[in-house]
Structure 1
Amino acid sequence: MGASWKMVDEGWGRKAVDFATLSEPGNVREYVTLHQHLRVGDGDRLLDVACGAGLAIELAVARGASCAGIDASARLVAVARDRTPSADVRVGDMQALPWDDGSFDVATSFRGIWRTTPSALAELHRVLVPGGRLGLTVWGHIKKSPGAWALAPFRLATSAKVDNQAAMVSLGRPGVGEEVLAGAGFVDVRRVSVPFAWEFADPETFARALASTGPAYEAIQNVGEAAFFEAATRRARELVRDGLPLRATLDVVGYLARKPS
């Protein structure tokens, strides 16, 4: 992994507390919906891949599951461990999971596995029990989303980085995720709609939350933090509503599947 490992923690971990408190709470609708589809409950052993600051793990534990998680960012893992001390949360590579075959009944990943990381799916297949359930989410059709404005500042990254982001999210295109999951050995693959909306108190809070993410770091590397914040707040100011939060509704796709019995 080398340099790529370090870059993940630099991009996602450098503002871990901002991400955990300002950005990740907006993902709750997504987490709850997928857990409901997967019927997560008492007795389930659940692994969350690219678990970030661990809010999805905390919610799964509240449903009765015993949980493990893995993320490349040590600083985000520290937050996840603080939130749920009972969970087995590790710093590591999702493409080389440090658990034995058949260790889990359920596996999830919330916008953490991409078209560019297919070997992570092979690893999830390996660590699931026969009949184990899998749930993934990925970005869907962003350009047609009412909240597309909220992700526009990411395009301030270099053209190579923007192209890579597009390749990553292509897993959400119709038919693509189904084909990739089937190729990894999963069956009963189906696509579900997942509600997703970010809400913020004001443009400045939005900019601070967005700046805590990995794609924002790629843009900041290219144009600088001041230019990124200016771009992030400019459009948001036009969308301020009296007495209501800023709201960005975005298309998120869910995939459900299982390992053959």
Structure 2
Amino acid sequence: MSDWRGVDTGWGRRAVDFSTLSEPANCREYVTLHQHLAVGPGDRLLDIACGAGLAIELAALRGAVCAGIDASHRLVAVARDRSPDADVRVGDMHELPWPDGSFDVVTSFRGIWGTTPKAMTEVRRVLAPGGRVGLTVWGHLKVSPGAWALAPFRLAAEEKVSNQASMVALGRPGAGEELLAAYGFVDVRRIDVPFAWEFPDPETYARAIASTGPAFESIQNVGEAEFLASAAEMARAHQREGLPLRAEIAVVGYLARTPDPRSVNGEGSPPPRSST
């Protein structure tokens, strides 16, 4: 199987746990990017690496006509159940199955990484002239107060941990801006995006993160029982009386547009700004 088909092994194995225990915490991230992109009625929106489709569901509530693609057929099944009217497909983000100029907005929430930059070729292709793009990636993890919540991912084999570091490199200052400009996007800007995981107890936290792809790499190395036990033990140090476990982690967003030859200078107007 090609690499993208193998993604389901890690991300799809606990699709229900991911969609109910992990993904809901992403709502702050999804809503923030939709607001900055001014997603609204009639927008044709594609979400790349859409996972279980919560971002698609939220975009549709703003009036967008939505599509999505993910490499995990089990996560796509959840996305289709949540949004039966959306065009959600299983596939490779490097070979999008839609014609040129099909969308007004393309989003990807921590789905395009420093290790998959060529996906931006397809993003550019399927966006209409003047179309908007919004990406999020992990930011400065070392200074994030909730960085402890990502520590169990370091139980993976050394080469996997090294690859994780290459993936998040896109969050470094200037990296995202350079990538978008290199693929012909204009009006590029960087924003801070709120993100916080919240869980009722260490065991729920451990089960939630065990449903993710990076956790699967750790589970392959140390076994599921040891991963769950280690994750729960790490979380106990961060329990607070009468409050949920909370892990605030730096996430950054990149906003840009495709050039619009219909405008005076060929670059279109600046990306829409949030009303908040």
Q: TM-score, normalised by structure 1?
A: 0.99
Q: Equivalents in 2 of 1:79, 1:23: separation in Å?
A: 14
Q: Would you say 1:166 and 2:184 are equivalent positions?
A: no
Pairing of 1:33-72 with structure 2 (within 5 A): 33-72=32-71
SS at match of 2:145: coil
Q: Equivalents in 1 of 2:160, 2:78: separation in Å?
A: 28
The offset of 1:242, in angstroms, is: 1.3
Q: Equivalents in 1 of 2:185, 2:157: separation in Å?
A: 35
The offset of 1:203, in angstroms, is: 0.2
Name 1:7's counterpart in structure 2. 6
SS at match of 1:108: strand
Q: Equivalents in 2 of 1:252, 1:87: separation in Å?
A: 27
Name 2:265's counterpart in structure 1. none
Name 2:274's counterpart in structure 1. none
Pairing of 1:44-193 with structure 2 (within 5 A): 44-193=43-192
Identity %: 75
Q: Equivalents in 2 of 1:178, 1:231: separation in Å?
A: 37
Q: Equivalents in 1 of 2:97, 2:172: separation in Å?
A: 30
The offset of 1:231, in angstroms, is: 1.2
1:55 counterpart letter in structure 2: L
Deviation string 1:37-58 (CA, Å, 9 cap, x unpaired) is 0000001000000000000000
The offset of 1:89, in angstroms, is: 0.1
Q: Would you say 1:252 and 2:251 are equivalent positions?
A: yes
Q: Equivalents in 1 of 2:94, 2:4: separation in Å?
A: 12
The offset of 1:7, in angstroms, is: 2.3
2:101 counterpart letter in structure 1: G
Q: Equivalents in 1 of 2:37, 2:133: separation in Å?
A: 8
2:230 counterpart letter in structure 1: A
Q: Would you say 1:213 and 2:209 are equivalent positions?
A: no
2:35 counterpart letter in structure 1: Q
Moved over 2 A (4+): none
Deviation string 1:61-99 (CA, Å, 9 cap, x unpaired) is 000000000000000000000000000000000000000
Which structure is higher in helix share?
1
Q: Equivalents in 2 of 1:177, 1:239: separation in Å?
A: 32
The offset of 1:3, in angstroms, is: 4.2
1:63 counterpart letter in structure 2: R
The offset of 1:6, in angstroms, is: 3.4
Pairing of 1:14-33 with structure 2 (within 5 A): 14-33=13-32
1:193 counterpart letter in structure 2: D
- RMSD across aligned C-alpha pairs, in angstroms? 0.6
The offset of 1:227, in angstroms, is: 1.1
Q: Equivalents in 1 of 2:125, 2:203: separation in Å?
A: 44
Name 2:270's counterpart in structure 1. none
Q: Equivalents in 1 of 2:224, 2:244: separation in Å?
A: 24
Number of corresponding residues: 260
SS at match of 1:22: helix
Pairing of 1:219-234 with structure 2 (within 5 A): 219-234=218-233
Q: Equivalents in 1 of 2:230, 2:5: separation in Å?
A: 27
